[in-house]
Copies of this chain bind each other. A is one copy, B any other.
């Protein structure tokens, strides 16, 4: 992974602005023969063709040693011999010639090159070495690289087309200005998704493919686009592990972001030694990180585009309560089903709203939310206006999803007019589910677009998009995480014993049982007496991770059995530690391990819940206020903590406080480590750590 970059490092001069654009154009695919570049269909011809066709206003500088001109433009044998001041180079030569092209760019003072050529890390070791060489040459010379193995970059706003994507060779491409940034590691998928977006009337402003992410990553490009004032939303397709600093920068930009990160299922396959490690699968950590940062994660291309469509509208909800207004009862039910699925709530509506709707909606409709105004809207188009007015005025409604089906021609126009009037009145997002073919109302998509009304073919998809607007708005704080105010304690020594760890925990205000080292058989008897007449004895043997399984823990030691128990444990080769018996309660597993995204706190209910059910919750550290309690409430088995079926609850507040203290304690500990508190017993009052283990340098698990 590259070091995090400041956007300013990446493109001091604005690399997607019209400027001098060098196209280093010996195709990686076509045999090099004189004139090949002008052959129709040759890859090398495409960027020149596109730039001319779509009216690029900067200077185009084709580079090719065997051509004196290309499509009427003078060509240069090398970028060194082209006019000085090139802003961006697109390199399309065969892989083995890329080092030379990079050297030439360095010599010519080019700040940024896009290497489209394949034949690098994606092909194996040899290609990886070539890629490393190219990156090293560029870095040494102050040249930043996008790619290799990508399809280039496009700005619809400045008409920079540094790409050979077949998207632009179609006869009729909707080429307009746009406000959304599309960034994809996969060029084919990225431009494919962009083409589907264009077809739907979504307007990308920038499409950038980054391929192998050898130097500048897809995420860094997203960060850069996020800093453009005219950019109103970002969507990305990633294959590599995102860099947490770049994710933070992206979130801090305040621009709405949705990511499709592939490789979800592979992530589950990694095994690890200790419980926490084994359970905190990397993909879940990423889920957690994105949720914490208010970045939407999607699972498919349609979903990415659905969310992008919502991002194009500037309206944002103030909360998660949605009102559904529908002309079809069926759509209303489907919408209600989807509300819950996506973490939204159906607004209860104020009594005065329900009353007002009662005077508007026909008797066979519905005035509860979903509000079913019925097909009567066909004969009385004011129904839509009047009911939307009620919902806009109701401050228990944060966003509105309007559903209609199969209406045709003028009926659709009227509905769209009503919705447009409503949209113009209030700041609330209004999303439209129009379940009907375009041939029924060919102008509807364009009219909805003009009215800034995102459109979807089904209620469920409209609600997914509405939920995304909430996720980026209020679902999570977007400000960068601050280190806790209290300075971090020094980390434990590698190989710290359980008593040492417990001392450290106690100093941090974390509950542990009273305990003492046992000095011999006689001291053992005394210890039990001092600890209340019954105690737990534990062998303290360096490197013995699973004490219980090794017979190193004896519960319920009495003065009578103390001496014999001491002897047995001491025989394991280390010291013996005695602790008071903790009261009854519910056991948790609490762990912290470092990941590529930073330290991750994991909490689960002890024993079978975690072992057999994977019922754990993760959070990237440090915790924000309230997150400890929230983590506990998200456990599927949370009822066990709060009391169930007549059993008393335990001290959930103490458990939450413990999580926050752990967060503050470990924040800033350097290197890779795992801290395993298993179990933590949550009592009727308080919570105590019954066992603790700490390992360092256990090896960070790669994310995919």
Contacts and interface: CB of A to CB of B under 8 A. Distances in A.
A131 interface: no
B337 A439 contact: no
B440 A170 contact: yes
A549 interface: yes
A124 B190 CA distance: 52
A76 interface: no
A265 B337 contact: yes
21 contacts: A118-B364, A119-B364, A127-B364, A165-B406, A166-B409, A166-B440, A167-B408, A169-B408, A170-B408, A173-B439, A188-B327, A188-B405, A195-B436, A198-B437, A262-B333, A263-B333, A265-B336, A301-B457, A302-B458, A608-B644, A612-B640
A612 B609 CA distance: 11
A193 interface: yes
Nearest to A333: B262
Contacts of A174: 439
Interface in A221-248: 237, 239
Nearest to A199: B437
A340 B302 contact: no
Given A192-B436, A301-B435, 19 more contacts: A122-B329, A123-B363, A124-B363, A167-B406, A170-B409, A170-B439, A171-B439, A173-B439, A186-B328, A189-B331, A190-B330, A193-B435, A198-B437, A239-B333, A263-B337, A265-B337, A265-B339, A608-B609, A612-B640
A119 B302 CA distance: 39
A130 to B, nearest CB: 12
Contacts of A264: 337
B330 A237 contact: yes
A461 interface: yes
A440 B333 CA distance: 37
A208 to B, nearest CB: 14
Contacts of A638: 612
Interface in A155-205: 165-167, 169-174, 184-186, 188-193, 195-196, 198-199
Which of A118, A195, A363 is the most central at the interface, judged by chain B CB atoms within 10 Å of its CB? A195
B646 A299 contact: no
A71 interface: no
Contacts of A263: 333, 337
Contacts of A302: 302, 457-458, 461
- Per CB-CB distance, the 7 closest pairs between chain A and chain B, nearest first, are A186-B330, A192-B405, A192-B435, A188-B328, A189-B330, A188-B405, A195-B437
A290 to B, nearest CB: 16
Contact of A461 (B239, B300, B376, B440): B300
A636 B637 CA distance: 13
A330 to B, nearest CB: 3
A536 B76 CA distance: 97
Interface string A330-361: 11011011111100000000000000000000
What is the total number of copies of this protein in its complex? 2
A613 interface: yes
A354 B327 CA distance: 54
A486 interface: no
Interface string A428-458: 0000000111111000000000000000011
Which of A173, A439, A615 is the most central at the interface, judged by chain B CB atoms within 10 Å of its CB? A439
A7 to B, nearest CB: 25
B300 A405 contact: no
A405 B187 CA distance: 9
A300 B195 CA distance: 24
A627 interface: no
Contacts of A458: 300-302
Given A166-B408, A199-B438, A407-B166, A611 B189 contact: no
Interface of A: 29, 118-119, 122-124, 127, 165-167, 169-174, 184-186, 188-193, 195-196, 198-199, 237, 239, 260, 262-266, 299-302, 327-331, 333-334, 336-341, 363-364, 375-376, 378-379, 404-409, 411, 435-440, 457-458, 460-461, 549, 608-609, 611-613, 615, 636-640, 644-646
Nearest to A410: B41
Nearest to A124: B363
Nearest to A704: B333
A488 to B, nearest CB: 34
A457 B329 contact: no
Contacts of A333: 239, 262-263
A448 to B, nearest CB: 16
A406 B334 contact: no
A124 B329 CA distance: 15
Which of A185, A189, A460 is the most central at the interface, judged by chain B CB atoms within 10 Å of its CB? A189
Contacts of A239: 329-330, 333
Contact of A166 (B331, B411, B612, B615): B411
Nearest to A379: B29
Contact of A409 (B169, B340, B440): B169
Given A196-B436, A437-B196, A186 B329 contact: yes
Contacts of A118: 364
A608 B119 contact: no
Contacts of A334: 189, 260, 262, 300-301
Contacts of A404: 188
Contacts of A123: 363-364
Contacts of A549: 646
Contacts of A199: 437-439
Contacts of A330: 184-186, 188-190, 237, 239, 262
Nearest to A301: B458
A337 B297 CA distance: 14
A153 B470 CA distance: 40
B328 A192 contact: yes
Contacts of A364: 118-119, 122-123, 127
A265 B405 contact: no
A473 to B, nearest CB: 24
Contact of A188 (B166, B375, B611): B375
Contacts of A640: 608, 612
Which of A119, A171, A266, A301 is the most central at the interface, judged by chain B CB atoms within 10 Å of its CB? A301
A306 to B, nearest CB: 10
Nearest to A645: B611
